[in-house]
Amino acid sequence: MTPPHESAGGDRCQGQRRLTMNVSKHSLFLAMRNRSIQETPPLGEALRRVEALLPASWRLSATEEVTTASAQVDAYVDLAGQGGEGVRFAVEVKQSGTVSTPVALAVLRDLGRKTELPVLFVSDYIGPSLRAALAAEQVSFADATGWVRIVSDRPLLLLTGQGVDRSPRPRTSSSVTRLNGVAASRIIRALTVVDLPCGVRQLATAAEVSPGSVSKLLATLAAEGSVDRDSSGAVTAVRARDLVRRWVQDYSFTKSNRSVGYYIAPRGLDRTISRLTDQGGITLTGAAAARRLLPASTTSVVPLRLLALYTASPATLAREQKLIPADPPTANLVIATPQDSSILPDLDGAGVALAPAALVLADLHTLPGRSDAEADQLLDALATTNPAWREAP
């Protein structure tokens, strides 16, 4: 196959080496010049993932890092069918979290314009927001965990593969991969309300955690595309919806909090909420909190079926309110001691407090009888005043 930007009589690229694999017969290893050893393995592993998805009659060949008259290209990948018809991709390799989504897209557009070829983006891991952005740009991608989307109009080709839900942590990395602790909760909540850009120490102060905890978590969130960071490490963009989606992979109301109790409120939920205003130390979450966070003119999309509360002693509150213990399927009220006691108001305060919006959303997604519709309604309301909550393009 003659690549579109080359003549039949010769190759204009300098210093190339072509490596060809027959599907299901060979493994591909690329020794990329001028790249650190950390960047080399994702390319070979990602292309092996592509190889496994190809039709049996197709082959994949790759050329290592090259310099053309118009662009520096990490690699070229050729996919060719049995009849010789195929497509060549210009490849850009980036470690996850090293560049922001807008910068990555700009680089890929520039590479496509200079090479006049479709572009294949390769990384060790490509998070959901970046996958969506690449798909919207019609840029093909593949990562070392198995996320693959290869698109071609000529010849007509679509390859898709599914990888892991979270960024794998290298053995040498100190980044956090599970977001189920108090520090992670505080950092995530702070990220949805701080002014940007926000440095590590500034975020640590806002979240009331150590700078070390912030650094470790931001490394994971940047690798997965939930946040963007600049060269100094400061957070420059937050995709709050992706952040909450990632959080609830590890957090849940019933598993992350303590002393979870299920009850029936015999006087009804509205009367129970009214009675709670005379007590202190109670924080409202879930559907009831979502209603209070909506604009006054907005009606919830579903009726209130489950009241969710945080307090220091669920059993004491249940006894004082004369609640009836129940099984989870029949309960209309659930009370828990929060993993982070800082969300509770003072005991001598009047009325009930509202949990932070990010926690309300996480609880809506993980409470019994989860209400995604209410969560979506609240997200749309939050997005009208805070760009972080808007759906990523």
Reported as a pLDDT band with limits 50, 70 and 90, residue 69 is low
pLDDT of 379 reads 96
pLDDT tens readout for residues 111-128 = 999 999 999 999 999 999
Q: Please report, rounded to a whole number, the percentage of residues in the chain having pLDDT higher than 90.
A: 69
Examine the pLDDT at 3 and tell me if it is beyond 60.
Answer: no
Angle between helices 372-383 and 357-366 (to 10 degrees): 160
Task: Give 155-192 as a DSSP string.
Answer: TTEEEEE---SSPPPPTT--------SHHHHHHHHHHT
SS3 21: strand
SS3 334: strand
Secondary structure letter of residue 220 according to DSSP: H
Half-sphere exposure of 300 (CA within 13 A, CB side): 17
Reported as a pLDDT band with limits 50, 70 and 90, residue 370 is confident
Residue bearing tokens 């190809």: 54
pLDDT of 34 reads 36
Cα–Cα distance, 91 to 375 (Å, whole number): 38
> 343 pairs with which residues across the strands?
none
In one letter, which amino acid is 266? P
CA end-to-end distance (rounded Å), the chain: 36
3-state SS of the chain: helix, strand, coil percent to 5?
Answer: 35, 20, 45
Contact, 226 vs 238, CB < 8 A?
Answer: yes
Q: Kindly state the average pLDDT of the residues 27-52.
A: 61
Angle between helices 286-293 and 357-366 (to 10 degrees): 140
pLDDT of 70 reads 65
Cα–Cα distance, 41 to 296 (Å, whole number): 53
Q: Is the alpha carbon torsion for 278, 279, 280, 281 positive or negative?
A: negative
pTM: 0.77
Secondary structure letter of residue 259 according to DSSP: E
Cα–Cα distance, 306 to 333 (Å, whole number): 5
pLDDT of 9 reads 33
282-285: strand order across its sheet: 324-325, 258-264, 333-337, 307-311, 282-285, 353-354
Examine the pLDDT at 245 and tell me if it is beyond 80.
Answer: yes
Examine the pLDDT at 177 and tell me if it is beyond 50.
Answer: yes
Closest to 78 (Cα-Cα) out of 135, 1, 156, 6: 1
In one letter, which amino acid is 260? V
How many residues in total does the chain contain?
393
Q: How many other CB atoms are found less than 10 A from the CB of residue 302?
A: 11
Burial class, 55, CB count within 10 angstroms (exposed 0-12 / middle 13-18 / buried 19+):
exposed
Residue bearing tokens 């990220």: 191
pLDDT of 83 reads 78
Examine the pLDDT at 28 and tell me if it is beyond 80.
Answer: no
Examine the pLDDT at 5 and tell me if it is beyond 70.
Answer: no
Examine the pLDDT at 325 and tell me if it is beyond 60.
Answer: yes
